[in-house]
Amino acid sequence: MSCEHLICARCAGPVIEGRCPVCRAGREKVHGTGTGLSPALVVFVLVALLLCTMMLNHLVGG
């Protein structure tokens, strides 16, 4: 679901712009912004940890 085409009943502006508190609350409800970590960030952290572990293993293991 997307809020790109939703119009706020309070300010009559597009919800995506977040002009009023009702718009911002609706946008957050639809998109869930600010909750949890993004999947891309989790994958990036896991890859970085894997690379660090491999480098450390290579340096110590000789």
Beta carbons of 27 and 15 less than 8 angstroms apart: yes
Q: What is the pLDDT of residues 36-46, one digit of tens each?
A: 677 888 899 99
Report the C-alpha gap between 55 and 7 in whole angstroms: 52
Domain limits, the chain = 15-61
Q: Strands, E, within the chain: which ranges?
A: none
Q: Which residues pair with 14 in a beta bridge?
A: 7
* Lowest mean pLDDT across 26-30, 31-35, 38-42: 31-35
Measure the CA–CA gap between 28 and 1, rounded to whole angstroms.
12
Instruction: Note the pLDDT of residue 6.
Output: 85
* Cα of 27 vs its chain's centroid, Å: 13
Per-residue pLDDT, 29: 83
